[in-house]
């Protein structure tokens, strides 16, 4: 779609994109991001045209507050939202966090379904109605832009839901979000709920309606689009669909469905879709959540054609098997071939082509690693560079890093790892044995970085083909109910494993500190 035809579209068909990667996304087990990572993601969301960025839950911890406040101060275009329960202290804290934003929003929510009222809230319907009026009024006294959400809306009787929405709008809510919190609705039900509420609530035209869908039945994107058909004009979603349990609706899927099927979905968004691929890689790198290969829009295979018939068709006319171009989501096909003779300029152009913008120090570190890789590997593919730079970004703020690793493996045993780590500037070396080379390496790390975490996942995959391919390793650890994931890449699988394990333990330490700070705050 051209810009001209976009500007001809009416505002009534504009779907506002509300990204909650930094709040609902970060809330899912293992996806914790550091302060710097959150700023990096927020900056990219702002550049790509996200309308509202939900930057966190300010009352949850000092770290969350700081992240929301800093994103609020730095955002150039987007509205910055913070989440608040229907509790006066939450709303005040949220108001403080977003007050530096050019445009700040308080997003407050309360449960409305019978099961939540009876078992979680232990409140009557009338009590909840009073809470809605009081908390939305309080929020509206702090900011102009207030969103109110009916948690578990899809399991709430429609009459009561309408009374709640009516009360929220009367108290000044400017956006009404009706989430499918537990991912239970079907598209038709979800659309009908919006049609019914908008028709029955007399002042419904005073607010923008919003969808927020979880993916427990794999229907989050379909439900979001159905909600839009029912009159909603805000979609809450996350990059790569990360979020509680099975996740949220994936931003890239919602946006590309609207763009590609304008014939049956007559809406438009403000997203520059050429950033989608970069955003996916960044979120995957900082959360250490791999993107499944066949994931729509941003999966590695999303534009790959393997079968002979498909390849034949593609060579004759790309639209035989492609409904959108890879370029439209930021996947470039014009590849500069990289190797050990490529210099700084070529590397810089390649990074630009792949959608990376690195600071000077980051660039130098990435370039040094690229040269080392090119010395060991004949062909350096785009995927190699992506894996290398993503890892560089993900590990940039790690307090402990792998310096050297030597492993004795093979039939003779005992398998022995000699490992040196840089622990906040100090080099420490240990030697450990184990039941295999990976076990020996992990035991050595544990000696220097003791923890109680249990290994939930150890996964290796080759970034490209060939025996000299880089291995990308994911490690998931669980300690006291907290789950973290670390990722590492190298042509040496054991070095990649060590990097991934160290990254996970670094995150475990951060999560431990975050919890301790939250507990100290009460
Ligand atoms: O899923 C949900 O209901 C939420 C609310 C806090 C909006 O995330
Ligand atoms: Zn949610």
Quick: pLDDT tens for 277-287.
999 999 998 88
Alpha-helical runs (H) found in 75-218: 88-98, 114-116, 125-142, 158-170, 187-200
pTM of the shown model:
0.81
**With a 6 A CB cut-off, is 107 part of the ligand 1 pocket?**
no
Q: Is the distance from the beta carbon of residue 149 to the nearest atom of ligand 1 less than 6 Å?
A: yes
Q: For domain 400-520, give the CATH number.
A: 3.30.160.270
pLDDT recorded at residue 168: 98
Look at residue 468 in the predicted model and tell me its pLDDT: 82
Q: How close is the Cα of 24 to the center of ligand 1, in Å?
A: 8
From the alpha carbon of 20, which atom of ligand 1 is closest? Answer: 8
Name the residue with the closest Cα to ligand 1, atom 7.
149
For a mutational test of ligand 1's pocket, the pick from 83, 151, 248, i.e. the residue with the most ligand atoms closer than 8 A to its C-beta, is 151
Residues 51, 44 contacting (CB under 8 angstroms): no
| Residues 215-232: tens digit of each pLDDT | 999 999 999 999 999 999
pLDDT at 142: 98
Residue 118 CA, distance from chain mean position: 32
The kind and range of the H/E element at 228 are helix 220-229
Residue 517's pLDDT band (cuts 50, 70, 90): low
Burial, 322: exposed, middle or buried (Cβ in 10 Å; 0-12, 13-18, 19+)?
middle
The bridge status of strand 471-479 relative to strand 52-56 is unpaired
User: pLDDT digits over 181-192, tens only?
Assistant: 999 999 999 999
Distance 213 CA to ligand 2 centre (A): 7
CA dihedral 167, 230, 54, 514 (to 10 degrees): 80
What is 15-287's CATH number? 3.20.20.70
Q: Is the CB of 167 inside a 6 Å radius of any atom of ligand 1?
A: no
When comparing pLDDT for 490 and 254, which is higher? 254
Give me Rg for the CA atoms of the chain. Answer: 24
Q: Do you find a cis peptide bond into 414, omega within 30 degrees of 0?
A: yes
Give the DSSP H or E segment for 507. helix 493-521
- Our answer on whether the CB atom of 212 is closer than 6 Å to any ligand 1 atom is yes
Cα(414)–Cα(435) distance, rounded to whole angstroms? 8
- Ligand 2 centre to CA of 246 (Å) is 11
Q: Does residue 147 line the site of ligand 1, with CB under 6 A?
A: no
Give 320 or 410, the one with higher predicted confidence: 410
């Amino acid at each position: 779609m051209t810009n001209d035809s976009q500007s001809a579209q009416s505002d009534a068909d504009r779907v506002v994109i509300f990204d909650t990667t930094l709040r609902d996304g970060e809330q899912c087990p293992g996806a914790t991001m550091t302060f710097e990572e959150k700023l990096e993601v927020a900056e990219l969301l702002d550049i790509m045209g996200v309308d509202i960025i939900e930057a966190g839950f300010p009352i949850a911890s000092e770290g969350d507050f700081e992240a929301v406040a800093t994103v609020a101060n730095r955002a150039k275009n987007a509205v910055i939202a913070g989440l608040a329960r229907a509790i006066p202290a939450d709303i005040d804290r949220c108001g403080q966090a977003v007050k530096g934003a050019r445009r700040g929003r308080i997003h407050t929510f309360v449960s409305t379904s019978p099961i939540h009222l009876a078992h979680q809230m232990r409140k009557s319907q009338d009590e909840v109605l009073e809470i809605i009026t009081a908390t939305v009024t309080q929020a509206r006294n702090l900011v102009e832009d207030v969103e109110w959400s009916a948690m578990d809306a899809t399991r709430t009787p429609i009459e009561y839901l309408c009374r709640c929405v009516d009360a929220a709008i009367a108290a000044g809510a400017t956006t009404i979000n009706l989430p499918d919190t537990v991912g239970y609705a079907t598209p038709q039900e979800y659309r009908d709920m919006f049609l019914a509420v908008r028709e029955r609530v007399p002042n419904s035209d005073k607010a923008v309606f919003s969808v927020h869908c979880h993916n427990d039945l794999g229907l989050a994107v379909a439900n979001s689009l159905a909600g839009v058909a029912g009159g909603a004009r805000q979609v809450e979603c996350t990059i790569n669909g990360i979020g509680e349990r099975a996740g949220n609706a994936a931003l890239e899927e919602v946006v590309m469905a609207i763009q590609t099927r304008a014939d049956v979905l007559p809406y438009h968004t403000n997203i520059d879709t050429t950033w989608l691929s970069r955003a996916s890689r960044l979120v995957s790198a900082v959360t250490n959540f791999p993107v499944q290969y066949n994931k729509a829009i941003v999966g590695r295979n999303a534009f790959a054609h393997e079968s002979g018939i498909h390849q034949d068709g593609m060579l004759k006319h790309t639209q035989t098997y492609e409904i959108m171009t890879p370029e439209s989501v930021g996947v470039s096909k014009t590849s500069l071939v990289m190797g050990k003779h490529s210099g700084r300029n070529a590397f810089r152009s390649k990074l630009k082509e792949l959608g990376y913008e690195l600071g000077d120090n980051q660039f130098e570190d990435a370039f040094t690693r690229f040269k080392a890789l090119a010395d060991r590997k004949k062909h350096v593919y785009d995927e190699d560079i992506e894996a290398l730079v993503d890892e560089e970004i993900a590990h940039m703020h790690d307090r402990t890093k792998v310096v050297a690793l030597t492993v004795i493996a093979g039939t003779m045993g005992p398998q022995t790892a000699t490992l040196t780590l840089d622990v906040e500037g100090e080099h420490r070396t240990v030697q450990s044995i184990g039941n295999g080379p990976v076990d020996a390496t992990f035991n050595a790390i544990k000696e220097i970085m003791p923890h109680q975490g249990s290994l939930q996942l150890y996964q290796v995959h080759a970034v490209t083909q060939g025996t000299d391919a880089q291995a990308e390793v994911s490690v998931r650890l669980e300690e006291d109910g907290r789950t973290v994931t670390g990722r590492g890449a190298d042509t040496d699988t054991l070095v990649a494993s060590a990097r991934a394990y160290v990254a996970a333990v670094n995150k475990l330490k951060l999560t431990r500190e975050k919890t301790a700070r939250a507990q100290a705050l009460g």
